[in-house]
Structure 1
Amino acid sequence: MNKKVKRLLAVVAASLSLHVLAEGCGFHKEVIEEVAFCHNEYPPVVPTGKITPEKLVAEQEEFRRYYQSYQVDTGTVASLQQLSVPTDIVAIIATWCPDCHRETPRFIRIIDEIDNPNINVTYIAVDRNKKDEEGLAAQFEFSRIPTFIVMQNGLEIGRIVERPTRSLEQDLVEILK
């Protein structure tokens, strides 16, 4: 192959790599179908719909590893252990998404540490088209995953999208002030 073709291929490969890194687990809508820009190493059949945190940690190796290694900032979440307002959190996640592999198990660990019966979390897994078989995720507007939607009295009061601003603990405390 001549040098110009090799150089062109290298530039194209580098551009695609940078695009994938910049996009994270977002979705590109300018193609016929929505395509997620994440690793393709994961099984083509992914769980969708309502899923328990126990199932995620037990069956997903990456989730289990992050869950076991994460150290919750207990000082930051102490106030959430006293939260008396019923709070619902919808976590829209995917087992194929690297950002979800990192953030979802950490979030599960935080909720386990808080251990507050007033905080109820529903985990909804989506496929690469942002859909689940039951249509649960379609009830919420989102474009990036994971998305953690925090609600009180049926109204959204905040969300954490893809990755926290500071930390999951700090962002959650800030939303629930």
Structure 2
Amino acid sequence: MKQLLATLLLLFTFGASAQEFNKEIKTENGLQFLVGQINLEGLRSQPYSNWFQDRYENYLPDETMVALFKEKLAGYNIKLFLGTWCGDSKRESPKFIKILEAADFPMEQLEIIALDYRKEHYKTSPTGEEKGLNIIKVPTIIFFKDGKEINRIVESPLETLEEDIAQIVFQKDYVPNYAY
């Protein structure tokens, strides 16, 4: 009996702490968006696939640049903060995902967090992944090495996503838009 109770307690604890992915909000005026941790399945679901899939499929990464940073990029963890309601996120996020896949980036090292659009929760997530990270614009792509932020791309690249990624992973002088 003790073993059964211990097992049930463990399962409950695990279930309670498991992250819910692709949580969707629907507002009274019909706006629909994702919040919190999301994955590619969420971006490829309706209605988000309407903007994600075409932009993803039609983007051709710069293979020369990808080959240049591919090996170094694998040593990073990345947090992508976006808004499924945001035009800049809709433009840059599919391209960024396509670049990561072209670089054979270990996707378990990518965390995608969708931020809220509602006035009372603007640019926050239900579980607070953005806290302390100074997210002022989306998308914000933060590159971490050994748990420390190395740099970020904010809202749009300075040159191209591939060139900006190369600057960051080779730790060159790179100052993102809206530098803080």
TM-score calculated relative to the size of structure 2: 0.70
Q: CA deviation at 1:113?
A: 0.7
The one of 29, 37, 51 aligned to 1:50: 37
State how many pairs are aligned. 136
CA distance in 1, matches of 2:74, 2:62: 22
Q: In the alignment, residue 84 of structure 2 is paired with which amino acid?
A: T
Provide the secondary structure at the position in 1 that maps to 2:144: strand
Q: In the alignment, residue 144 of structure 1 is paired with which amino acid?
A: K
Identity %: 32
Q: CA deviation at 1:84?
A: 7.2
Residues 112 and 58 (structure 1), Cα distance of their counterparts in 2 relative to 1, 3 Å cut: farther
Q: CA deviation at 1:118?
A: 8.5
Please, which moves more after superposition, 73-82 or 102-111? Answer: 73-82
Instruction: For CA contacts below 8 A with separation 6 or more, give which structure has more relative contact order.
Output: 1
After TM superposition, the structure 1 = structure 2 runs for residues 24-173 of structure 1, keeping only pairs within 5 Å, are 43-59=30-46, 60=48, 61-83=50-72, 86-117=75-106, 120-128=109-117, 129-173=122-166
Please, which moves more after superposition, 148-157 or 115-124? Answer: 115-124
CA distance in 2, matches of 1:119, 1:75: 24
Q: CA deviation at 1:97?
A: 0.3
- Contact conserved, 2:78 with 2:144, CA < 8 A, in 1? yes
Q: CA deviation at 1:86?
A: 2.5
**Could you list the runs of 5+ residues in structure 2 that have no partner in the other structure?**
1-28, 171-180
CA distance in 2, matches of 1:144, 1:79: 28
CA distance in 2, matches of 1:43, 1:107: 28
Provide the secondary structure at the position in 2 that maps to 1:124: strand
Q: CA deviation at 1:91?
A: 0.5
TM-score calculated relative to the size of structure 1: 0.71
Provide the secondary structure at the position in 2 that maps to 1:82: helix
Cα root mean square deviation, aligned: 2.0
After TM superposition, the structure 1 = structure 2 runs for residues 1-20 of structure 1, keeping only pairs within 5 Å, are none
